[in-house]
Structure formats: structure tokens, C-alpha cells
A and B are shown apart, each in its own frame.
Chain A
Amino acid sequence: MSILSVNKLTKSFGGLMAVSNVSMEINKGELVGLIGPNGAGKTTVFNLLTGIYEPSSGTITLDPNGVNRDIQGLKPHTICKIGLARTFQNIRLFKDLSVIDNVRIAMHKNVKYGLVSSFFHLPSYSKEEALLTKKSIELLKILKLDHKKDELAKNLPYGEQRHLEIARALATNPTLLLLDEPAAGMNPAETSQLTELIGWIRKEFDLTILLIEHDMSLVMKICERIYVLDYGMVIAEGTPEEIKNNKRVIEAYLGEDMNNAGD
């Protein structure tokens, strides 16, 4: 059962076709990779899926619980409420807020008390805030950040900032999680830890994951299927084994084989 289907998605910036005719299917529970050389349009695809850009043409259908919804052109916060969350390649935490506040903000869409309650701190405020704090700490425990809950996000070391990005995305209670280069800037030990973590949260939270990554060891190890993007187009799709041996993919990454080019 497909949870996300992208049909002929196109985005042009002026004369530049950043993404052209991309079609993708992601099934429930899958862990899919999106790879490609620098500037291939991977992050643009994420920005289109999450509503930060509006597509020039094409459709995006999200089906988190048996209800199909076309999400192209919707605002990011609406798409988030439908059940799609993301992390950012260039970390975008709320830097001057505490770690726990970063998570609590992502849980805001579930808060039921109204403005009046927030002005006068009525009982519904105290009740829900206590619940919110409890849930946030539980989530931070999972990502081993609970001992730093009162520190400012900007004071965390780099690896923990990446973890906090994941915690914040999980706090929105998504069905589909988009990870944009979660291992960027990590050393091999940290990357292998992250690989385990991604596998674990996927099971624990019953998630479908789409991830962009340059670290091939991570992609080949955990992804079940891979889409390869080059110059804004999907040039290959398949299992890690198939992708490894795909001629067009090798060309895209390493350039054309000189011997063949001479023929």
C-alpha cells in the first residue's frame, strides 16, 4: 500500500529545471533512500514534498491512514498536520530556546487549551503543560538528550543537534519522516550509531522513512529501495544491489567511462 505517491513532479526556477518529471512511490513501512550527485535536486524534492516550495506541475498524494490527500500547494504546517515531518540538511533548530522547548513546540498541534487559558493559566493549562513536558522528556530519553533538556539548543555539540532535529520531527507524530542528510558531518562511529538509531525509531514509531544521504555505507546498509536523481530527473530506481551495478548511476557519480566514450 503506497503512503506517498509523487506523479510527474516538476519545479523550475526561472529557466532552471531543478526537478523535472519526478515520479516516486513509497509504501507503508518502507525505508527508501534518495541519492544523487551534488545539485541533483534532492533537497528541492524535499522542499516540494513539505510545502516550502509550490510545484510548477505534478501531484503529490499522501495517504497516512486510508484517506488520499493531494498535498501539492498546501502550506507546510498543514502538511505537517497530515503526518509528514522532516529534518533539515543545514540544521534549523530554535537555537535560543532550550532543548525541551524545541520538542514542546513541535507538539503544539496537539495542544487543546485555548488562548484564554494561556492568559490566565487556568487548570486546563497546568494539566496539559504537565502532560506535554512528560511526553517531551520521554522522547528526549529515547534520543539520549534528557540530561540536557534545559540547555540552549545552540550549545549542544553538533551530533546532538542532529539528534535533536530528529527528536523534534518525531514530536510532531508523523507517519512519514523525511531525513535530509542526517549523517552529514558525522564520523564513522557516529554514523553507525545513527544507522542503528534510524532502524530502531522506524520500528518503535511505526514509521515510513525517506532519506537523503551522501554516506553510501549508511544508504546501502539500511535502505530497502533507492531512487537516484541527476539533473532533476530520476535516472534509476531499485534495491541497493541493483543501484550499485547500474551503469547510468555509475556514470552520474564518476563520469562516463573513457574507453566507452572513445567507441
Chain B
Amino acid sequence: MKKLVRSNLAIKLVSLILTFAIIQLLIYFDIINDYLQATLATICINIILAVSLNLITGFTGQFSLGHAGFMSIGAYACALITLRIPTIPGFILGVFAGAVAAALIGGLVGLPTLRLRGDYLAIATLGMSEIIRIVFLNLDNITNGAAGLQDIPQFANWKWLFIYTAGTVLIISNYIRSSHGRACISIREDEIAAEAMGINSTKYKVIAFTIGAFFAGIAGALYATTFNFIDPKIFGFSKSIDVLVIVVLGGLGSISGSIIAAVLLGVVTTYLQSFANIQMILYSVLLIIIMIFRPQGLMGSKEVSLSIFSKLGNSFKSKKGRV
């Protein structure tokens, strides 16, 4: 058992390092040029957003349309801090403060709204994220209102983005495979049965919401320090929908699905830019086609299992053993 856990960890580490090394090489040989690096950053931020929303919507079963709101809290908190402390520690502090601020608001908003179910919750979270946007729009002397914050120091390079993305994916997938994570999933499966089995459903919904908001805050902070500029328009309703599209496309309840969908949509959007006129039409058609043929999402609720590699490894070993 222990051996299995260790080898799983080793496989995870190896695949992480491999992913990093391959992309690092592509950047080094300029195959991923400056333009594509912006796509890469968008993909990383979208992965963080989608995986964290998947915890709320896919695993805990709470339909939320407010992810852009939490993202904007992280973005503004981090931008305001790094504008005053433009150093690496300031950047790290900014990301952390953004995440904590988003998590606090998430928990606070979650306590009353998570008593609602289904579409009522969706409307409440949508309203919440609009309120946050309007507040940022009107706090002129702090957020510079509609003009937005400019010249935010650019700290979040590819390496930072990779660290934060990998960290998010690891922490959330670890959480899902713990007893607390299973408590969240049981609420999605059958809330009445979960309560009858001793699961405090309100508590675990709020926990999932708070964790989701925390990582959305990180994504917002990384957005601000990658693209140097934020204004309230960026974090509107359509941003929440964009994230939801990635989650549904990848499969509700599949972390690897969210990652695959974020990468796929990132790449597709970049290449569709050469057909500027019909870009949105092609994008929509692609989504419709995928939803017709895979209504449960690309991955359903399954994960890309790393055990494929360990199986390959085992068969290799056993062959070796026979010789």
C-alpha cells in the first residue's frame, strides 16, 4: 500500500517535471514565441479557474455563476499591493492576499446563498459577482473606476504560472480524494442521504465554495500581474460563463477534463484569430459539435489515470523478470 502511494507520487512528480521541461524547451527554441506565451499564460489561468469551479459545480454539485467575482477580488488585491510594493516578495504577498480576500468573501457569501438550490443559487451567485464588479467600478479613488489599473508590474512569468497551476491541481485533486472531499461529492449525489449519514451539508458546501474562491483569487492575481492591466469589464458575466464552458466541456467532476478543455480552447482560440471575422461563429460551432457528440463532456466524470504508466511499467518489469 505504502509503496503504491509513493510510486503514485513519483509518477506525478515525473510527469510534472516532464511537462515543465518540454514547454521550457519549446520556449527556449522560440517555437513558443512571445505571442504564444500569452496564450500559455491564459491557459494556465483558465486551468486554475476551471479546476476550482469544478470543485464547486462538478464535485459538490452547486451551480455557481460567480467565479469572475472572486477572480476580480484576487486581481484587484494583488494589483494594488504590487503597485505599492513592486518586488518579488510584494508579488508573492499580493497573490496570497488576493486569494485570502477572495476566500473570505466566498465564505461570507456562501453561508447565506448556499441554502439555495439549483437555478436559485446560480442567480444569487451571478448577482453577487455583479455586485462585486459594480463596487470595483465605483471605488474611484482606490480602483480608478472604469479606467482600470494600469502599469501593474509584470511578475507572473511562465515559471510562476506553472508553479501556481500545478499547486492548484495537486491540492484540489488531493482534497477530492480525502474523506472531506468525499463528503462534498456525497452532497452532489444525494443531499438528503448525505445528511442522514452524518455529513453537515451546509458546512461542506461552504468549504468547497471557500476553497474554490481562494484559487479563483489566485487566478485573478496572476491575471493582473501577467497582463499589466485590469478593469471591471474584464470580470463581467461573460468571464464566469467562459469558465463554466471549460468545466462543462471537460466534464463535470473531472479535473483532467478541465485541464484538457482549458488547453484545447486556449489553442483553438489562438488559431481562430487568423479568421477574425468568423472567429466567434467557429468557436460556437465547435462547442455545439462537442456537446452533441459528448454531452457528458470530453472526460465525463473520469480522470486520465496515471496508472496506465504504472501498468506499462509493471508489464515491462515482468517481461524483464521472465528473461
A75 to B197, CA, bound (A): 11
Are A108 and B193 in touch, CB under 8 angstroms?
no
Are B182 and A108 in touch, CB under 8 angstroms?
yes
A109 to B186, CA, bound (A): 13
Q: Which B residues lie within 8 Å of A117 (CB)?
A: 178
Q: Interface digits, B183-197 against A, CB 8 Å rule (1 contact, 0 not)? A: 101100110111111
Closest B residue to A115 by CB, please name it: B180
Least Cβ distance of A190 to chain B in Å? 23
Q: List residues 188-220 of chain A with CB under 8 A from any CB of chain B.
A: none
Q: Which A residues lie within 8 Å of B207 (CB)?
A: 115
Task: Give me the 4 closest cross-chain CB pairs, A-B, nearest first.
Answer: A118-B178, A94-B189, A80-B198, A76-B195
Are B192 and A77 in touch, CB under 8 angstroms?
no
A117 to B179, CA, bound (A): 10
Does chain A have a CB within 8 A of B278? Answer: no
Q: Interface digits, B87-127 against A, CB 8 Å rule (1 contact, 0 not)? A: 00000000000000000000000000000000000000000
Query: Can you identify 9 A-B contacts, CB atoms within 8 angstroms?
Result: A76-B192, A86-B196, A92-B192, A104-B179, A106-B198, A108-B199, A121-B178, A129-B178, A168-B197
Least Cβ distance of A96 to chain B in Å? 6
Most buried by A among B175, B198, B207: B198
Are A97 and B193 in touch, CB under 8 angstroms?
no
Are A108 and B190 in touch, CB under 8 angstroms?
no
Are B196 and A121 in touch, CB under 8 angstroms?
no
Q: List residues 32-52 of chain A with CB under 8 A from any CB of chain B.
A: 50-52
Are A77 and B1 in touch, CB under 8 angstroms?
no
Are B178 and A77 in touch, CB under 8 angstroms?
no
Closest B residue to A95 by CB, please name it: B189
Does chain A have a CB within 8 A of B174? Answer: yes
Does chain A have a CB within 8 A of B201? Answer: yes
Are A101 and B201 in touch, CB under 8 angstroms?
no
Q: Interface digits, B212-244 against A, CB 8 Å rule (1 contact, 0 not)? A: 000000000000000000000000000000000
Does chain B have a CB within 8 A of A85? Answer: yes
A51 to B185, CA, bound (A): 22
Are B196 and A52 in touch, CB under 8 angstroms?
yes
Q: List residues 102-160 of chain A with CB under 8 A from any CB of chain B.
A: 104-109, 111, 113, 115, 117-121, 125-126, 128-130, 132
B200 contact from A77, A88, A96, A125, Cβ within 8 A: A77
Closest B residue to A94 by CB, please name it: B189
A128 to B178, CA, bound (A): 10
Query: In terms of DSSP, what is the predominant structure of the interface of chain B?
Result: helix
Closest A residue to B200 by CB, please name it: A77
Does chain A have a CB within 8 A of B312? Answer: no
Q: Interface digits, A77-90 against B, CB 8 Å rule (1 contact, 0 not)? A: 10011000110100
Most buried by B among A94, A107, A109, A111: A94
Q: Interface digits, B1-26 against A, CB 8 Å rule (1 contact, 0 not)? A: 11001000000000000000000000
Q: Which B residues lie within 8 Å of A235 (CB)?
A: none
Most buried by B among A76, A80, A97, A126: A76
Q: Which A residues lie within 8 Å of B195 (CB)?
A: 51-52, 75-77, 80
Most buried by A among B179, B200, B207: B179
A104 to B177, CA, bound (A): 12
Least Cβ distance of A59 to chain B in Å? 21
Are A96 and B189 in touch, CB under 8 angstroms?
yes
Apart from the given pairs A94-B194, A118-B180, 16 other A-B contacts in the complex at a CB distance below 8 Å: A52-B192, A77-B197, A77-B199, A77-B201, A94-B185, A95-B189, A104-B182, A107-B179, A109-B198, A115-B207, A118-B175, A125-B178, A126-B2, A128-B179, A171-B197, A172-B198
Least Cβ distance of B188 to chain A in Å? 9
Does chain A have a CB within 8 A of B181? Answer: yes
A98 to B174, CA, bound (A): 18
Does chain A have a CB within 8 A of B171? Answer: yes
Q: Interface digits, B160-176 against A, CB 8 Å rule (1 contact, 0 not)? A: 00000000000100110
Least Cβ distance of A171 to chain B in Å? 8
Q: Which B residues lie within 8 Å of A169 (CB)?
A: 197
Closest B residue to A178 by CB, please name it: B196
Q: Which A residues lie within 8 Å of B144 (CB)?
A: none
Does chain A have a CB within 8 A of B301? Answer: yes
With A105-B199, A118-B174, A172-B197: A111-B179 Cβ-Cβ less than 8 Å: yes
Are A105 and B196 in touch, CB under 8 angstroms?
no
A257 to B180, CA, bound (A): 58
Does chain B have a CB within 8 A of A22? Answer: no
Q: Which B residues lie within 8 Å of A101 (CB)?
A: 182
Q: Which A residues lie within 8 Å of B196 (CB)?
A: 50, 52, 76-77, 80, 85-86, 88, 92
Q: Which A residues lie within 8 Å of B1 (CB)?
A: 130
Closest A residue to B179 by CB, please name it: A111
With A80-B198, A97-B185, A106-B198: A92-B190 Cβ-Cβ less than 8 Å: yes
Closest B residue to A168 by CB, please name it: B197
Q: Which A residues lie within 8 Å of B183 (CB)?
A: 105, 108
Closest A residue to B176 by CB, please name it: A118
Are A121 and B174 in touch, CB under 8 angstroms?
yes
Are A119 and B171 in touch, CB under 8 angstroms?
yes
A77 to B193, CA, bound (A): 10
With A81-B198, A105-B199, A118-B174: A129-B179 Cβ-Cβ less than 8 Å: yes
Does chain B have a CB within 8 A of A93? Answer: yes
Are B179 and A108 in touch, CB under 8 angstroms?
yes
Are B301 and A118 in touch, CB under 8 angstroms?
no
